[in-house]
Structure 1
Amino acid sequence: MGRQQARRLADLFPKKKIDHVITSPYKRALQSIEPLAERKSLKINIDNRLVERKLSNQDLPDWLEKLEASFNNMNVYYSGGESSREAMNRGMGVINDILKESYQSTIVVTHGNLMALIIRYFQRDFGFEGWLNLSNPDVFLITITDQNVVITREWENI
C-alpha cells in the first residue's frame, strides 16, 4: 500500500474512537496502519493469524480457478495450502478474541483472501465474486451486536 493510501486510510477515521489495532505481521499491512495508529496514539498489535491464506506451496498456473473452487467448496485444499474453512476459522479466532475482550472499536488489518473469508462467515453470499470485487486496499466496517451483524464497505466512500 502506498504512503498516500495509508494517509487516506488514516483520514477515514478522524472522529471515530478506536480502542485497538491488530494487524498481520506482513510489512505491507504494518505500513498501511502506521499513520492511523500514530495519529491516534495506538499500539499496533501483531497477530500471525491474520497472514494471508496460502492456497498452495506449489506454483498453480490455474490458481484463479482453484481459488474459485475453494470458495465453492470450503473444504477444498491444495498441496501445502489451507482450505477456505481452515483460513476462515483462523481469521475468526481473531474476531472472537476481540469480542471476548469487549473492545468497542477494533481495526483489523489483513489481506484480501482472508478478509473475504471473514466477511463470508457473517454474510454467506460473499464468495469468489465478492473477493474479485475487492479493491486494494479495501475497508469494511463490521458492526456486531447481540441482535445482528451489519457489514458496510467504507473504502469506496472516501
Structure 2
Amino acid sequence: MTSIYFIRHAQPDHDWDEDRTRPLSDEGVNDSKRVTEFFREMEIDYYISSPYKRSIDTIKESADGHGISIILDERLRERESGLSGNNMEMFKKRWDNLDFHEECGESLKMVQERNIKAIFEIINNYKDANIVIGTHGTALSTILNYFEPAYCCDDFLRIIDFMPYIIRLDFDGVKYIGKEELLIVKKEFEGKK
C-alpha cells in the first residue's frame, strides 16, 4: 500500500504580494512545528512539494529531521490566480463549473489535471512508500474531488481555514482506497470575505 500524506501549508504572510515566494507568517512558522512533531516517529520515505516557499517551509523541518531532501514538482503548485482574486462569489463560480477561469487564471480542471498527473507518477515511481506532499488548499481540493467526485465547494470552504492540514490518502497500486484527516489547525483565511 502507498500512503500519501498531503500537507496543506501553514498560515502564510498575507501581506506578501508575490505568490510563489510568500513566506509563512510567524504563527505559520510556529504551527509548522506541529507538522514536524506529527511525523517525528513515523517512517517516511519521500518528501515532495509544490515549489512555493510556504509549502516547502511547512514540511522542511520534518524532512530535515528525517534526513530526506525535498523533491520539488512544479505541477503541484497552487492555482494561478486571475484578475478577480479570491472571494466567495469566485469560489462558487469556479466550483460550479470546473472549466471556468477568470482572465489570466487557471480553471480548477486545469489545476486538477496537472496535480493528478503528478500524483499518479509519484504512486507509480514510489510504490508501497510513505510519502509527504507539501501542497495548497485549492490544489489539494481538486485532488480530493478527483478521487471523490462528490467533493465540492462546501468541502473546499470547510478546509479553507485549516493551516496546516494533514490528510492521508491510501492506494493499492493506483487504486484509491480511502482517506483520513490527521491534523487540523484552524486559522482565519484572509481572502474569503
TM-score by length of 1: 0.89
**Equivalent in the alignment of 1:95:** 119
1:18 aligns with 2:48: no
**Equivalent in the alignment of 1:105:** 130
Alpha-carbon distance between aligned partners in 1 of 2:45 and 2:56, rounded to the nearest angstrom? 17
Alpha-carbon distance between aligned partners in 2 of 1:151 and 1:114, rounded to the nearest angstrom? 16
Alpha-carbon distance between aligned partners in 2 of 1:53 and 1:129, rounded to the nearest angstrom? 18
1:129 aligns with 2:154: yes
1:154 aligns with 2:182: yes
RMSD over equivalenced CA pairs, Å? 1.8
Return 5+ residue gaps in structure 2 as ranges: 1-9, 11-27, 186-193
Q: Does the 8 Å contact 1:122/1:149 carry over to 2?
A: no
Higher relative contact order (CA 8 A, sep 6+): 2
Tell me which amino acid in the other structure corresponds to 1:32: T
Alignment length (residue pairs): 155
**Equivalent in the alignment of 1:40:** 66
Tell me which amino acid in the other structure corresponds to 2:39: F
1:142 aligns with 2:169: yes
Structure with the higher fraction of residues in helix conformation: 1
Return 5+ residue gaps in structure 1 as ranges: none
Tell me which amino acid in the other structure corresponds to 2:170: T
Q: What is the CA deviation profile of residues 110-144 of structure 1, one whole-angstrom value per residue up to 9, with x for unaligned ones? A: 11011111111111121111111111111110011
Deviation at 1:156, TM superposition (A): 3.2
Alpha-carbon distance between aligned partners in 2 of 1:73 and 1:149, rounded to the nearest angstrom? 27
TM-score by length of 2: 0.74
Deviation at 1:148, TM superposition (A): 4.0
